Amino acid sequence: MEYSIRTEQLTKRFGAFTAVDHIDVAVEKGEIFGFLGANGAGKTTAIRMLCGLLNPTSGQGSVAGFDILKETARIRTRIGYMSQKFSLYPDLSVEENLRLYGGLYGLSRKDLDLRIREMGDFLGLRDLLKRVTGSLPWGWQQRLSLACANLHSPEILFLDEPTGSVDPVSRRNFWDLIHRLSAQGTTIFITSHYMDEVEYCHRLSIMIDGRIAAMGSPRDLKREHGCASIHEMFLKLMEHKPLSEPKSLLKPNPSFESKPAAGGTPS
């Protein structure tokens, strides 16, 4: 089996607080993997370690076949990252944003022209290339964000809450794109708070207080927990957990937040 992402006992501590607590994850090539959890459960910290933006405290992992401790530079050229925070330049046109990100990834002018054409067709952005990004509806800006993260044809896409504030029709179109990318062999690692759409994932994990509390296909998870939907199962899992302090209290030191994400659009 070819794994795009694999971790063993991956752990991150900030002082006395364990944000990510010995997690084991294995994601196959081309799989759509939903990485779920409450606000502050440790998802973003885990993603940052996988993208090579944050060093683990202990444990190990590989992404696209490279070690997340020693080969972060090689990982970054093979992944795309789209963050929950919008990271495009609203005053630039759609094409200018694409050219900027293509340039950051080191694509040649020729490759960039080709990829902008391909991405433009694939994401339906072709007729919008000259439009000012900030004037587009939110769903379209999200699509452009996805195009920017995907310009350098990454093997793995990390999507951190890509569909927040997106209406049902745009959300459905977005997931259609995700499925097409997956069918082409791109691995998708995605977080969302919208439990209906995560049922479109091939497999899911649910993180609670830094640990993985459940993992499997949506169908198997529902069966195992005797729930009609993932939403119901999520609430059931969370009820067993005492209401704790918000984890963001112990937010990791801010220095890495400003570190440029060479592997994708900066957050």
Partner 1 sequence: MEPAVAITALAKDHAGERALRGISLDIPNPCLFGLIGADGAGKSTLMNILATLADADSGQVRLLGHDLLKEFPAIRADIGYMPQRFSLYQDLSVLENLDFFADIFGITGEAKNERMEHLLAFAGLTPFKGRRAGLLSGGMKQKLALACTLVHQPRLLLLDEPTVGVDPVARRDFWDMLKSLRAQGISLIVSTPYMDEAALCDSLALLHKGSVLAKGTPAEMLASYPYRLYRVEAAADAKVSTLNYPGDKAPPPGFALIYPSGGALHAAELPGETSGTGDPLQRLRAAVPEAVCATVVPPSLEDCFFALLSRQVDGPEDAAMMAKPNAKSRGKKAAEKSEAGRSADGKKGKA
List beta partners, residue 63. Answer: 5, 66
C-alpha span between 44 and 209 (Å, rounded): 12
> Among 19, 23, 4, 6, which Cα is nearest to 61's?
6
* Closer residue to partner 1 (CB): 37 or 52: 37
Minimum distance of partner 1 from residue 222's CB (angstroms) = 9
Minimum distance of partner 1 from residue 204's CB (angstroms) = 11
Quick check: 179 and 32 in contact, CB under 8 A? yes
Please report which helix (H) or strand (E) contains residue 140, including its range.
Answer: helix 138-150
* Closer residue to partner 1 (CB): 109 or 219: 219
Minimum distance of partner 1 from residue 67's CB (angstroms) = 30
List beta partners, residue 161. Answer: none
CA distances in angstroms from 72 to 26, 35, 84, listed in the order given: 18, 21, 22
* Closer residue to partner 1 (CB): 105 or 234: 234
Minimum distance of partner 1 from residue 149's CB (angstroms) = 19
* Closer residue to partner 1 (CB): 54 or 125: 125
* Closer residue to partner 1 (CB): 3 or 194: 194
Quick check: 147 and 129 in contact, CB under 8 A? no
* Closer residue to partner 1 (CB): 30 or 65: 30
Minimum distance of partner 1 from residue 76's CB (angstroms) = 26
C-alpha span between 10 and 26 (Å, rounded): 12
* Closer residue to partner 1 (CB): 58 or 217: 217
C-alpha span between 55 and 30 (Å, rounded): 26
* Burial of 69 from C-beta contacts in 10 A (0-12 / 13-18 / 19+): middle
Minimum distance of partner 1 from residue 221's CB (angstroms) = 10
Minimum distance of partner 1 from residue 153's CB (angstroms) = 20
* Closer residue to partner 1 (CB): 72 or 142: 142
Residues that bind partner 1 (CB under 8 A): 32, 37-40, 84, 90-91, 93, 120-121, 123-128, 130-132, 134-140, 161, 164-173, 175-176, 179-180, 193-196, 199-202, 217-220, 229-231, 234-235, 238, 246-249, 251
Cα first-last separation, the chain? 32
- Dig out the tokens for 218 from the structure: 């949506």
List beta partners, residue 82. Answer: 159
List beta partners, residue 205. Answer: 35, 215
Minimum distance of partner 1 from residue 36's CB (angstroms) = 9
